[in-house]
Amino acid sequence: MTPNLTGAIFAILVVLCSAARAEETQPTANPLDVIPEKMPFNTPYGAPISLARAQAAIAAATEAAEKRGWAVNVAVVDSGANLVAFARMDAAQLGSIAVSEHKARAAVKFRRPTKIFEDNIQKNDYKYQLTLDDVIASRGGIPLIDDGKLIGAIGCSGATGSQDEAACIAGAATINK
């Protein structure tokens, strides 16, 4: 090859490699930069749940768990994240007492089911949510909504996440219609 042709080929290769490197380093769009039209999870807080309704939600959750042979802890908090009622089924693990309360508190404080945190971290790689105070990225915390207002939340723990969630759904069904 002649020196001029070799130089031209070399120049073309440099340009192609530079373009390929530039394509590789282009940042991808950050989905967190999207600004939604409406604020998500904006259910207004309402009056706190009564003890009778909290106990009814716990009874429904423990009944659903018992039918399936699961031993869970169930906590209900009011609209201010204060514990209203709690039940520990026979043989439910001790470590899950605090977890059931944490799930209920996170659901009411953030006005969303805790499964959303689990999905965001596991499926969407939103690790930043782990830096937020009081987040728990485990399903089994569900807000309790009456007449369009958040009156509390129920949290279940002691079984698998999906079992905890199923028991909580049964308990939440006494309020969320």
Q: pLDDT per residue over 40-88, tens digit each?
A: 899 999 999 999 999 999 999 999 999 999 999 999 999 999 999 999 9
Q: pLDDT per residue over 81-126, tens digit each?
A: 999 999 999 999 999 999 999 999 999 999 999 999 999 999 998 9
Q: Is residue 44 part of a domain?
A: no
Q: Is residue 61 part of a domain?
A: yes
Q: Is residue 56 part of a domain?
A: yes
Number of domains in the chain: 2
Yes or no: say if 117 and 136 are a contact pair by the CB < 8 Å rule: yes
- Token digits for 23? 């394509």
Domain residues for the domain of 20 are 3-33
Q: Which of 55-64, 87-96, 128-137, 157-166 has the lowest mean pLDDT?
A: 128-137
Q: Is residue 73 part of a domain?
A: yes
Same domain for 105 and 163: yes
Yes or no: say if 92 and 118 are a contact pair by the CB < 8 Å rule: no
Same domain for 78 and 15: no
DSSP structure class, residue 128: G
Q: Is residue 38 part of a domain?
A: no
State the distance between the two ends of the chain, measured CA to CA, in whole angstroms.
81
Same domain for 57 and 13: no
Same domain for 60 and 24: no
Which pLDDT score is estimated for 72?
98
Same domain for 139 and 86: yes
Same domain for 83 and 8: no
Q: Is 95 helix (H, G, I), strand (E, B) or coil?
A: coil
Which pLDDT score is estimated for 90?
97
Q: Between residues 175 and 17, which one has the greater pLDDT?
A: 175
Q: Compute the distance between CA of residue 83 and CA of residue 14 in angstroms, rounded to an integer.
A: 66
Which pLDDT score is estimated for 18?
65
Prediction pTM value: 0.81
Q: Which CATH number characterizes residue 70's domain?
A: 3.30.450.150
Q: Is residue 42 part of a domain?
A: no
Same domain for 19 and 84: no
Which pLDDT score is estimated for 44?
97
Same domain for 15 and 80: no
Same domain for 29 and 65: no
Same domain for 145 and 82: yes
